[in-house]
Structure 1
Amino acid sequence: MADLYELRRNGVAQTIVKAYREGVTVMGICGGYQIMGMEVCDPEGVEGEIIRLPGLGLLPVSTTMLGEKITRQVDFNFLDSNVVCHGYEIHMGNTVTSEAAEVIPLNSISDGQADGCFVNERCMGTYIHGILDNGAFIDFLLKPFAGKMEHKEFDFASFKEEQYNKLADHVRNHVNMDVIYQLMKSND
């Protein structure tokens, strides 16, 4: 609620809506998904004193904050893909789609639930963190640019692991790890 309030107060909310209207793709993950909806309600004051705020109105969904945080690993299929994707959820709130809305579920989670939605290829939201680590989703996002790119298979998991290894090497080269280990042992 505080983030949505601040986005409205500082003008960023209006900038996001304007960018979408001008053709920019807008995607919300977790709280961003909630914010993109019609409203966010907090009738029990889980997140503070604000009970209701209008969202950005980009997705025909409404979120009600709940006291219990949902945390879970999820396997999902993105749209009609048979490829199993992976991610996780960590959020408070229940998001429902307006009955009159024509939206497409973004993901089908392995337990049969749907997660997220999109109105068109430029406006979507999901609770799944890590969705951007899945090739099926990245291919979908880059599809409008496919004719401009050289196509070759890309192993996202290997690339991510390679980047972690580069970071670890950089830290080892620039940080005195013996001192770090001594500090860690002295705090036991």
Structure 2
Amino acid sequence: MTVMELREVRQKAAEGPAETGGEPATDRIDHRMMRSDIRGSEVTSSPERPNTVAGLIEKHREIAGKIEHTRRVLNALVFDLEALEHAIRLFDPNAELGRAKPLPSEHAAFKGEMRRDVLAALRAAQGPLTSLDIARQVITRRKLPDDAKIVSMMRKRVGAALWKLRARGIVVEVAQVGDYKGWRLNPTQG
């Protein structure tokens, strides 16, 4: 049974009672008919989750729409860039346009700033800290929003700074229970 046929059956079932027994038409739907063969594998739509397939299809359409929109925006940007290049060539056929400037990363830090933040957090700590603990302190210090994406990004940046500091002998790893390593200042660095 195709998705369209399944929708028609559900729509008829939702319209009201059946003509014969007064019971809703949904009671008469044979759920074995909802099976469909997709590339040789049998997929069933379970009666207790009738909206699962419809929800997945809707999400598929939503993502496909976003991809289409992004492609249109990209095409418009490429068209604008080509128009600018042609206009530049009208005035100076030998102009060197160079490479595109990359956009700065989100919440970028100046050179050495992340290292200073990491060291400040470790100096203020009473014991070893994990990269997640340090990342949360950096987020608080910079007054950034505390959402999962930013926490993950900052934890990775803190981790990179810690690895560089470890290579220089400034910090050392400390074994801890859990998923993250503990870090502290190297006591021999004084």
Please give the TM-score of this superposition, normalised by the length of structure 1: 0.17
Q: Normalized per residue, which structure has more helix?
A: 2
Q: Normalized per residue, which structure has more strand?
A: 1
Relative contact order higher in (CA < 8 Å, ≥ 6 apart)? 1
